[in-house]
Chain A
Amino acid sequence: MRTRAQVNRHRWAILGVAVFVVLLALVLKSAYYQLILTQVLLWAVLSLAWNLLSGYSGYFSFGHAAFWGLGAYTVALGMIDLNLTPWVAIPFCAIVGAVAAAVIGFPTFRLRGHYFALAMLAYPLATLYVFQWLGYQELTLPMKRESAAAYMQFSDPRIYVLLALGLLVATLLISLTVENSRFGMALTAIKQNEPAAEAAGINTWRWKMLALMLSGAVAATAGGLYAVVQFVVTPESVFGMLVSAQALILALFGGVGSLWGPLIGAAVLVPLAEGLNAELGDKLPGIQGVVYGIAIILIILLAPEGVYWRVLDRLSRRKPASPVAPREAPAPVPIAPRPRAATASDILVLRGVGISFGGLRALDGVDLAVPKGGLYGIIGPNGAGKTTLFNVINGFLSPDSGTIEFAGAPLMGLRPNQVCRRGIGRTFQVVRAFPRMTVLENVIVGAYVGAANDAAAERMALAALDRVRLSDRGNAIAGGLTTRELRLMELARALVPHPRLMLLDETLAGLGHDDLDGILGVIRQLRDDGITVLIIEHTMQAMVQLVDHFSVLDHGRLIAAGKPEAVVRDRSVIEAYLGKKWVEQVRVAAK
């Protein structure tokens, strides 16, 4: 997240770019150069639209031509069939794009990663054939000899430059706003670790849909203006693979996930390709494709995230690393310890919970009653189903039998972010950090679910960091933390929305003796503050010291529950951990 000053700097830069383009349009006398300038601006807008979804959230789309083409056809058909002027049709394209995006997003966001990208590829391809079948192989925008301006037909090509520039400036401002809002943080969190974002209370589906709809609206609007400039619309020219590829390549080249990347990419690659095509197209056929290919290869080798990030890295390395000034932490918000309930009510109740993965019964008839306030341990050998149990409680998995109740209300069927909203926090067996964000930003993501506004979120985050005694590392990038610091950061993130129940998955794993004491202290403090803690652990030794109650899981079944001293001596527990042979040895030794 940027400071206000940084945001303003970008605003000034946008103004600067606009002024530069206007001057360029005035200086370039040739209609050809003005046409190329218009095309640079339009392709930049498409690439920025792609960036809004794919650059920020990491959900790569290979199908943005679908929106571009729908926009182009909306304007063309509007003018041909309804005599609708593009001045009206182009804003309408935004609605067309958003609706198309919603329709596409519903089924496609069930997929992730490569599958999502491939599925997105299908949409423009299918739409291309639909439009061919509909008989729209070649549409030309009718020439309006009278009242041309009313139909966005100008003899001076510079007006098109201005129109495209207007669209570019609007898109840049939209991108800037998104980048510096909760929207942008949510998308970044999704990009860096989607399950963590879900568990921290981010409604990932909603943010992804919003991003796609915004992206589709902008892309369709640009496509509409493109139709006005080109006059001829064919399915191949607006729904073709090359259109989607261009949106991607420009952003990847220029700097994916950045404000300026797409514009840099468009400003370099579009004139380069056109210039090469002009000079060498007939002598070296296909030169444009070759140039694009070489550009991609060079970028992958030399600047994998794009020109913009590379340049930024270079510039920031040159400056001496300023010492990380510890933030002035405000007074921590004290959590009043919750009084123990008069009747020992159970905060979490599982009855007969079971789940299978194919032929493997991972959990089988698990009954669990976690009393309110206190430390409850879940222990068991590898593969017992402990993390699966947490995933079921958390909402990542759906049990196929049994019920789960939290504070008296059923919990099944809720998505992880909804479970988080109910008041359950979660940490993971392998820490799920947002590696490129700072520690403070990592924790702020967890605060969104409970905070009224961004300022409150930041305050709550600072308080949580203070609670786990990690305030001095607030500005460090999460990717560079030690295991102990990562565990504490994850604890803080789960803590910040004041949960009533914390699910800690092997929080003590990987810690040395000194680190262990620190974390144990934090966990005990949570219990003292009234939060119920359910903790999974491997090692008997640590657990026996820490918890009030115990459950032992083996092969998906609960084989013992109760106070630590009793459980440790339970025969079946010893068998599960040490084996029958040792049971005999113990008995012989006891004699």
Chain B
Amino acid sequence: MTHKTLTRRSVAKGLALTAGALAMPAISARAQVQSVKMAMVAPLSGPWARQGQLLRMGAEMAIDDINTAGGIKSLGGAKFELVVADAGDSTEKAKNAAQRLLADQPDLIGGFGAWLSSFTLSVTEVTERAQLPWLTLSYSDAITNRGFKFIFQTSPTADHQAAETIPKALDLAQTATGKRPRTVGLIMDNTASPVSFAKPLRDGGFEKAGLKPVVDEVYTPPLSDATPLVEKVRSAKPDFLLLLTSAMPDCKQVLEKLDEFKLARGKLPLVGNGAPFGAPELLKTIDAELLEGLLFSVANWPLKGQEDFIERFKKRTGEPWLTQDGLCGYGHTQILKAALEAAGAAAKLKVADAIRAMDLTTGPAAQCFPGPIKFDDKGRRIDVPMIFAQWQKGVPLSVYPTDRALAKPFWPSV
């Protein structure tokens, strides 16, 4: 007759087996669950804090979406993590932030930022030397002119933007009114982006479009008084006004002065460039009627097919509408995720190779940007259409490209 006795040996064996059984999932879990880190450097304090925060909101939403859907699949479901550094209010702070980030986080696989073109220049001087692939929505000429191999600019260059904006605006006018504008007025400040935008126009761009600039005024911000500028516009009577202001207070001054001189509310069509022209802040200080019909070209703006995403963003953040910043924050994160999936390893050099080889037309990353996600050897996107948005009833909606626009454009006329 054999009976099981609780000998010491059996207890020990039993405990060992139990321990082993308990340990097994832990061991395999440790092998499976790791996190992959990406960075964002953007102004989170100082005059551009809001833009940085919007970028962050977009990026964090993307991180959550990615992790909820199972993380990075080619890395065994690894979690995607965002590390953030504040670029502050000066190029020195931006560079310090990037350097600090790299020192604290040696395992970064890539990143994006820093919104303001001069900050992006500073940050990328650091990331290039660290061979960290970097995405940005800034577009001043210098960014992709340095022969850098690890910079990827998702916005079209200033040259391209200028070359696209004017003819498309003229086409729009012709379609809407049957007449093609012949004269243009230009009011701009002398910061980097408007200067990059206006240079090719003055160097033959206007002529090629069949336009004569009858007003060409450059001011140094901050604008103290818009009267002399608008007086010139009133006496020259251009067919439309190209407004290249970067600071909202300056934009407000010009619009209100135009109103004072009875040139607003549809009398003089206004065309701008850049996402700040669609910022919700404009509505807080400028009358919606003055903004009605203001057309602006922008590198990225919510399009058809993104309605669901737009609603989710609005609900999550409480923002009145989605702008370029939130959209690019989300999109850049998705691009890095797609690169990770293709690379199959959490290694920055492999991720950089994957981005260089990228040609995405579908998927969450591609949906965030007009045109395919494909970069040339300088890090610029090839064949990217400009988006146009227009203020209609207090909301700036995309109106071009026609097949992806959320609204129909109109050309203001009296």
Is A286 located at the chain interface by the 8 A CB criterion? yes
Interface residues of B in 113-147 (CB under 8 A from A): 117-118, 121-122, 125, 128-129, 140, 142, 146-147
Is A282 located at the chain interface by the 8 A CB criterion? yes
8 Å CB contact of A32 from B100, B117, B195: B100
B99 touches A31 (CB 8 A): yes
Is B191 located at the chain interface by the 8 A CB criterion? yes
Q: Which of B41-49, B367-375, B386-394, B406-414 contacts A (4 or more CB under 8 A)?
A: B41-49
Is A83 located at the chain interface by the 8 A CB criterion? no
Interface residues of B in 180-195 (CB under 8 A from A): 190-192, 195
Is A544 located at the chain interface by the 8 A CB criterion? no
8 Å CB contact of B86 from A32, A137, A277: A277
Interface residues of A in 31-71 (CB under 8 A from B): 31-33, 35-36, 39
B146 touches A137 (CB 8 A): no
Interface residues of B in 314-353 (CB under 8 A from A): none
Is B93 located at the chain interface by the 8 A CB criterion? yes
Is A140 located at the chain interface by the 8 A CB criterion? yes
User: B44: which A residues are within 8 A, CB to CB?
Assistant: 281-282, 285
User: A268: which B residues are within 8 A, CB to CB?
Assistant: none
User: A334: which B residues are within 8 A, CB to CB?
Assistant: none
Is A8 located at the chain interface by the 8 A CB criterion? no
A161 to chain B, nearest CB (A): 14
B122 touches A230 (CB 8 A): yes
Interface residues of B in 75-124 (CB under 8 A from A): 84, 86, 88, 90-93, 95-97, 99-100, 102-104, 117-118, 121-122
A138-B45 contact given A35-B99, A132-B220, CB 8 Å threshold: no
User: A282: which B residues are within 8 A, CB to CB?
Assistant: 44-45, 84, 86
8 Å CB contact of A143 from B99, B103, B148, B195: B148
Most buried by B among A30, A155, A234, A284: A234
User: A155: which B residues are within 8 A, CB to CB?
Assistant: 129
B103 touches A140 (CB 8 A): no
Is A357 located at the chain interface by the 8 A CB criterion? no
User: B125: which A residues are within 8 A, CB to CB?
Assistant: 140, 143, 231-232
A135-B102 contact given A129-B220, A232-B122, CB 8 Å threshold: no
Separation of A278 and B84 alpha carbons in the complex (Å): 11
User: A132: which B residues are within 8 A, CB to CB?
Assistant: 190-191, 220
8 Å CB contact of B195 from A135, A240, A288: A135
B135 to chain A, nearest CB (A): 19
B92 touches A39 (CB 8 A): yes
A232-B91 contact given A133-B190, A142-B146, CB 8 Å threshold: yes
User: B90: which A residues are within 8 A, CB to CB?
Assistant: 236-237, 240, 242
Chain A residues bordering chain B, tally (CB within 8 A):
37
B96 touches A274 (CB 8 A): yes
User: B122: which A residues are within 8 A, CB to CB?
Assistant: 230-232
Q: Give the interface size bracket for B toward A.
A: 35 or more
Residue of B nearest to A35 (CB): B99
A138-B100 contact given A155-B129, A277-B88, A285-B44, CB 8 Å threshold: no
User: B191: which A residues are within 8 A, CB to CB?
Assistant: 132, 137
User: B129: which A residues are within 8 A, CB to CB?
Assistant: 155
A232 touches B99 (CB 8 A): no
B91 touches A32 (CB 8 A): no
Residue of B nearest to A139 (CB): B142
Most buried by A among B45, B102, B190, B192: B45
B249 to chain A, nearest CB (A): 17
A285 touches B148 (CB 8 A): no
- CB-CB contacts of A122-155 with B at 8 A, as 1s and 0s? 0000000100110101111011010000000001
A233 to chain B, nearest CB (A): 8
Separation of A237 and B121 alpha carbons in the complex (Å): 13
A290 to chain B, nearest CB (A): 11
User: B142: which A residues are within 8 A, CB to CB?
Assistant: 138-140
Separation of A378 and B117 alpha carbons in the complex (Å): 73
8 Å CB contact of A281 from B88, B92, B140, B148: B88
Separation of A230 and B88 alpha carbons in the complex (Å): 16
User: A129: which B residues are within 8 A, CB to CB?
Assistant: 220
Most buried by B among A39, A133, A240, A282: A282
Separation of A340 and B192 alpha carbons in the complex (Å): 79
A278 touches B100 (CB 8 A): yes
Residue of A nearest to B130 (CB): A31
User: A137: which B residues are within 8 A, CB to CB?
Assistant: 118, 190-192, 195
Separation of A33 and B102 alpha carbons in the complex (Å): 12
Separation of A281 and B96 alpha carbons in the complex (Å): 12
User: A286: which B residues are within 8 A, CB to CB?
Assistant: 45-46
B93 touches A277 (CB 8 A): yes
A42 to chain B, nearest CB (A): 10
B147 touches A143 (CB 8 A): yes
User: A274: which B residues are within 8 A, CB to CB?
Assistant: 96
B230 to chain A, nearest CB (A): 22
B128 touches A140 (CB 8 A): no
8 Å CB contact of A285 from B45, B95, B190, B220: B45
7 contacts between A and B (CB under 8 A): A35-B95, A39-B92, A132-B220, A143-B147, A232-B95, A237-B91, A282-B44
Contacts A132-B190, A133-B190, A240-B90 known; 11 new A-B pairs at CB < 8 A: A32-B104, A36-B96, A138-B140, A155-B129, A230-B91, A230-B92, A232-B122, A237-B91, A278-B96, A278-B97, A281-B86
